[in-house]
Amino acid sequence: MPDPTMAELHELYDVTFEDAHLTAEAARARMADYDAMLCTIGDDLSAAAFEGDPKCGLIANYAVGYNHIDVEAARAAGVAVTNTPGAVTDGTADIAMTLIAMARRRAGEGERLVRRGEWTGWHPGDLLGWSITGAHVGIVGMGRIGKAIAARCHHGFGMEVSFFNRSKVDDPGMPATQVEDLKTLAAKVDILVLAVPASPQTRHLIDAEILGAMRPDAHIVNIARGDVIDEAALIAALEEGRIAGAGLDVYENEPDVPEALRAMEQVVLLPHMGTSVMDVRLLMGEVLLEDLRAYAAGKQLPHQL
């Protein structure tokens, strides 16, 4: 984490830092010894991690997504869980726009062409992509991040915005149409952007049926969690040309990215860098420190799940 965050952590606690992801067994062993634990999305905090009688009373999650934590098992073991809502919104929305632009304009292909030394100069028919300005974007999940993406699409690129959300959204913050059926949304948009939290309900939300509804000139962008898409179904749709391309920042079995995806020119692949901005990292640290200070003082946790 950034130096300022680490410095403040050392002022609050006797800190042990481990630069490795924890297995459930390792996490359980740590929770037997420590009062609080700050974790990341690579740590396995499934139900097995909370077996026994942990001394630890707080898991402070250095992320907004918490599908790696069994929150119910934590509560049953008397362990509170917090996360960083709001802190990651702008950074993640920005990376969604990066993926939209790269996928629609085939920027990844062009960059690789130049790096390989194979570019022979400008030709009018080379690397023809698809428009961004004025395109129709469909956003799956209209929470903080979904709304931030929608605002960028509408105000920045004049896009028509439609969205799917499990509950009614009264004020999306800009002109936008809520679509009641996900398959209907997938069929009508140029770009489908996934911004839902990971949960058992959203796992493989985008399956072969939804991908099959998309147009052959449409793109899909995922900045949510990898398992929101059925990766095998996505690979099939891309290989068969049933959709034009994809922009992915997350994967179903991170850090493993299927060779089939890595081989595809029409797919933009980023290494889960939606929040990789120093300002965002510092803000995430500030949010966590609020909870860690409150826990140390025996006060209510501001961001408890």
**What amino acid positions are annotated as catalytic residues?**
225, 254, 272
3-state secondary structure the chain: CCHHHHHHHHHHCCCCCCCCCCCHHHHHHHHCCCCEEEECCCCCECHHHHCCCCCCCEEEECCCCCCCECHHHHHHCCCEEECCCCCCHHHHHHHHHHHHHHHHCCHHHHHHHHHCCCCCCCCCCCCCCCCCCCCEEEEECCCHHHHHHHHHHHHHHCCEEEEECCCCCCCCCCCCEECCCHHHHHHHCCEEEECCCCCCCCCCCECHHHHHHCCCCCEEEECCCHHHECHHHHHHHHHCCCCCEEEECCCCECCECCHHHHCCCCEEECCCCCCCCHHHHHHHHHHHHHHHHHHHCCCCCCCEC
**In whole angstroms, what is the distance from residue 297 CA to residue 305 CA?**
19
Q: Is 52 left (phi over 0), alpha (psi -120 to 50) or beta?
A: left
